[in-house]
Structure 1
Amino acid sequence: MTAYEPRRDQPLTFDRRTGRLDGATLRERAAALAIKAGARLTEPFAHRGFSLGCRILSRALDDRETVVQLNEDARFAFPFGDGYWSVLLDRRYVYEAELERFLMNVVDVDYTFVDCGANYGLWSVLATSRPFGAHPAIAIEASSRNAAKLRRNAELNGNRFAVRHQAIGATAGGVARLSGRKHEAFTIAGPDDAAFCEEVPVVSLDSLIGDGSLDPSGRFIVKLDVEGVEIDALQGGQRLLDADTIMLCEEHGADRSHGVTRWVLAQPGCREFVLDPRTGRFEEVREPGFLDHIKTNHAVGYNVFVTKSVFWTERLRSAPPVVR
């Protein structure tokens, strides 16, 4: 190894603030440029085809870890060439822009972030970072493989958030059957013939109060990215929802019946909001058909904001509009 050759046992590092990539070989630098170009080319199509390109490209690459500096107080690691997270090598890309906008508008609020279906923990890393207000967080992930990556990201950031290897369900207790082929799409709601991964213990949102993890007198932001069991998770979080809580739930673009929203609006006291691209504001969803013009892509999920809290309702309503 020459003095100028990067060490293969060290991660590549990429700073999204500056665009600087360190620790990469010439082949890896070329691959990073290809990944960035692929992200830009597939952006108009919600990045369809990007993961396939990454998978093909990664066959020619060594197994390396990428550590991305998201801001001055947030580092996020994933395998180089990962078909889901490598899009972060495009500095222009903003992951779940509506959630980032919301969190940046509540930096001053004293809340705990509960990251359900955390995957590798990007939102836990960000919510606990200083630019986002350095809030306490609990990250919950059903896949043991993902949970290992989640723990790695906790370690990279000083173990400032708790990690739990569990699935979220309607009731606590027992185990669920996790299935799937892509780390970003593991689910406990798969068909019987789905690719089996593992069995995982189940907790409910309300059991986090019961076991002392959450104080019901506090304020909470709960992100539910639980791949098809959103309604089960909401059913298991009634006590938490009655507290000063706002829950972010995925409404998948392929569900033209807007099933999560129909369930939410049928619950006494529940209100739902969504970032409306027409107004640039968080608008209240008063009937499911309102989402017809929001969910324009059948291949992606859309975050809706569910709450009974007057406080969180006012924070949504008072958020400044997106400046185009």
Structure 2
Amino acid sequence: MPRFRFAIALALIGAAVCFGSLAPARAAGDDHVLVLGRMSDDPRAHYEQLKPLLDYVVPRMKDVGITEGRILMARDVQQMNSYLRRGRVDWVTETAGTAMRLQERAGAKPLLLTERGGVSRYHGIFFVRRDSGLEKLSDLEGRTVAFQNTASTSAYFAPAVELLDAGQRMEVLLSPMDRPGADSVGYVFARTELNIAVWVHKRLVDAGVVSSLDWDDERRIPPAFRSDFRIIHETPDYPRALEMVRGDLDPKVEARLREVLLQAADDPEASEALRLFFRTTRFMPVDPASQQALEHLRRGVTRVREQIE
């Protein structure tokens, strides 16, 4: 076999092993299997983050009939919605905005709040150049805003909801060089927090939005830029992340999963698995204040989908 064809064959075999092992189908009679799902553009890396916690959880659920764990990756939220509706995924870990999309479209429900890196809540921050003359959200009419990406809670969903609540019309732009109509706020996606900071600093856009966590991170908002920036608005706080389960999961399995995860932070055997699980420090019950914030976000995500996308 020519060297090039041999290399291609090896690559295809490797891909089949990787993706085949990450996405087994749930067959009839698989009630003993707990399936943890994740939306991913890097299945191998995410598998290594998810598997240790799943291996910790499964042996502690034998009393409700769970004896095996599997991981199923989805390429996007639409595919995950399908998995949840069809019962192929039982448990998903996600940020608040995406979690509310899964609740709205697939009937998933919040199981627990997830504290990552010691942080359980965060919010979005609108910032501008100090010399821009912009002081408040209403000043953004006819101006441009850089969001991160369409999956971001703090740097897309939450700030978009704030603009809609303020009565602003929103218009997607082709690039930072494009300009909106005089009666609307133009928005673009910069993909990274550093790009957002650079675009605002270089006046490619008038305002940017990042999370409160990223605002305090010098790798994302360089100190040399920060002195030229001013905050003009902050969104309400939202949960940092959530563990979601499908709506028709066996109540006994759901209750035991909640119990195991709540106790994990106090169990030394879970410490490494939690660390790998997106730097999780603990799981917490969904308190009334968080439930209210999530309900507001859920309604807002629906409005964003209907009115500006």
Task: Output the TM-score relative to the length of structure 2.
Answer: 0.28
Q: Larger Rg: 1 or 2?
A: 2
Greater RCO structure (CA 8 Å; 6+ sep): 2
Q: Which has the higher helix share?
A: 2
